[in-house]
Structure 1
Amino acid sequence: MRIARFSINNTPRYAFVQKDANDGKDYLIELDGYPLNGQQVQPTGQRYALDADGVRLLAPVIPSKIYGMAFNYRDHAPKTAQMGSSHMHVFLKPSTSVIGPDDPIICPSSSKEVEFEPELVVVMGRVAKNVSEADAMDYVLGFTCGNDLTLRDCQRDDLTWALAKGFDTSCPLGPWIETDFSYADARISCTRNGQELADAGGITADFIHSIPEQIAFISSFATLLPGDAIMTGAPHKSAQLHPFDEAVVHIEGIGDLRNILVSE
């Protein structure tokens, strides 16, 4: 099941995304609420085409916080490999960093070196605190695509990565949440201006720390709320963006997340 957040004539709504058997197109089936924390929702009877006038996909969720996993793929983790696989690196992005599909990434004037990283993102569906690895997936609503934007030149002098990874628009999410998804071997790829970056993609089977491990670790020191997100790590080295470059994150089984970089 795909869950979307969208606006119609600038009014935010929620929907299931369903493919029409007749024309093969995806449609938004409007809901009367948002299915977080076990909330029961029902279709309102309204249906919208994704390309209908006034319809715009939004970030599928606005988390209270976003946790990111650094150095979580073997090809992207020389430091982790040296310290041992038990060491987990976690950073934070604020809710104000979140944008949706086709929203512009705005590069702050303080930076000249913006890089993007395609990532699988976990969206929590229930309150999680001190969750075990065995039970971790019971607290997950689903998965979406994410783009971890980093001001690489600022990061060199930013010990907490608060500026480098937490600036406004640094966390595109979308296009929707997929609840029925095989996360253990998901393939991730990305394009820049239509050209696939072969050395930036990967497969989640190469995780150093699995998704249940990530949830268990984070929930051991912080309460994860419904709608909170975990960016599970970038497969390989990141790619640089310049003004007006188009970045597209693709995850098989979920979809595409497109954004364009602009200068502040």
Structure 2
Amino acid sequence: MLEGMRIARFSFNDRPQYAFVQHDDADDKDYLIALDGYPLSAQTVKPTGERHAVDGDGVRLLAPVIPSKVYGLAKNYQAHTAFMAESGMSDITEPPERMMIFAKPSTAVIGPDDPIVYPSYSKQMCYEPEVAVIIGRIAKNVPEDKAMDYVLGFTCVNDVTLRDLQQGDPMWTRSKGFDTSCPLGPWIETDLDYANAPISFSLNGRDVPEASGNTSNLIHSIPEQIAFISSFSTLLPGDVIMTGTPHASGALAPRDEAVVHIEGIGSLRNVVVSA
């Protein structure tokens, strides 16, 4: 992994590009240092000389990657497994011994402030705040003790789920793979204490403590996840692994503002809209 770096993908006047994120103590603002090159490849990247405030006119943060695929882990925290069973949304009362893996297509990915579209065919949309791993190198049959060598960094993800469809369809394709179901951002943090990262969530400006948690409580660690997934699927640079939601998962409705916050990364904000 690269050390001490934040990598963003943004558009300025509708032109997408990558940037390093730097904080300026003088005005206490974050700035995008535009790059010439692609940070997820082996090529050298260098600043172009462009500098934009993250909140500047004409600037829009995009999803930090366009993955070839997104994998997620189900029931990877004891507290979430218990919550789902107690609320009647699952008949699994104990975390499974083997990882439960599902996938989202790349078309599910959206960026910060992009709308989450509530489909007309569902009546129960839920949030799931999580830490996402961004793969930085081609990974196949990676041993667990080498797994972090294949990681570029981490970002926030909201594993938006249509709970009513999930209960009726055990394959989960529609319930978790629909368009806009994978908000990612705000950027990639390359230097995160990934084994002890606090996760929190707010809804319409109010903290939801029952949705919070910490990656220290993961059942299957991030290195375990990379090793297992790469044993059956080749991971490519930019691919995403959603590591699991820590505790409770609640309902979303049109006009709701959902914010995932991970200490050491930042906040990912999205608003729900009707289809």
- Scaled by the length of structure 1, the TM-score of the pair is 0.97
Aligned counterparts, 1:1-264, within 5 A: 1-78=5-82, 82=94, 84=96, 86-264=97-275
The structural deviation recorded for 1:53 is 1.1
Q: Unaligned stretches of 5+ in structure 1? A: none
Cα deviations by residue, 1:165-185 (Å, 9 ceiling, x for unpaired): 000000000000000111010
CA contact (8 A) 2:70 2:242 kept: yes
Contact between 2:78 and 2:95, CA under 8 Å: does it hold in 1?
no
User: What is the deviation of 1:21?
Assistant: 3.0
Moved over 3 A (4+): 78-84
The separation in 1 between residues aligned to 2:202 and 2:223, in whole angstroms, is 29
Distance in 2 separating the partners of 1:212 and 1:150: 25
**Runs of 5+ unmatched residues, structure 2:** 83-90
SS in 2 for 1:199: helix
Please give the per-residue CA displacement for 1:15-67, whole angstroms capped at 9, x wherever unaligned: 00001132121100000012113331000011001121110000000100000
Letter matched to residue 87 of structure 1: R
In the aligned structure 1, how far is the partner of 2:45 from the partner of 2:106?
25
**Offset at 1:82?**
3.4
Change (3 A) 1:147 1:83: closer
Is the 1:80–1:87 contact (alpha carbons within 8 Å) kept by the matching residues of 2?
A: no
Distance 1:38 1:180 in 2: 19
Where 1:13 maps in the other structure, the secondary structure is strand
- Using the aligned pairs only, state the percent identity: 66
Say how many residue pairs are matched.
Answer: 263
CA contact (8 A) 1:125 1:140 kept: yes
**Deviation for aligned residue 1:83:** 6.2
CA–CA distance in structure 1, aligned partners of residues 55 and 154 of structure 2? 23
Return the offset for 1:157: 1.3
Residues in 1 aligned to 2:169 and 2:42: alpha-carbon distance in whole angstroms: 39
Question: More displaced, 145-154 or 29-38?
Answer: 29-38
What TM-score, normalized by structure 2, do the two folds share? 0.93
Q: CA deviation at 1:80?
A: 6.5
Which amino acid counterpart does residue 165 of structure 2 have in structure 1?
Answer: C
Cα distance between partner residues in 2 of 1:160 and 1:187:
30
CA distance in 2, matches of 1:62, 1:204: 24
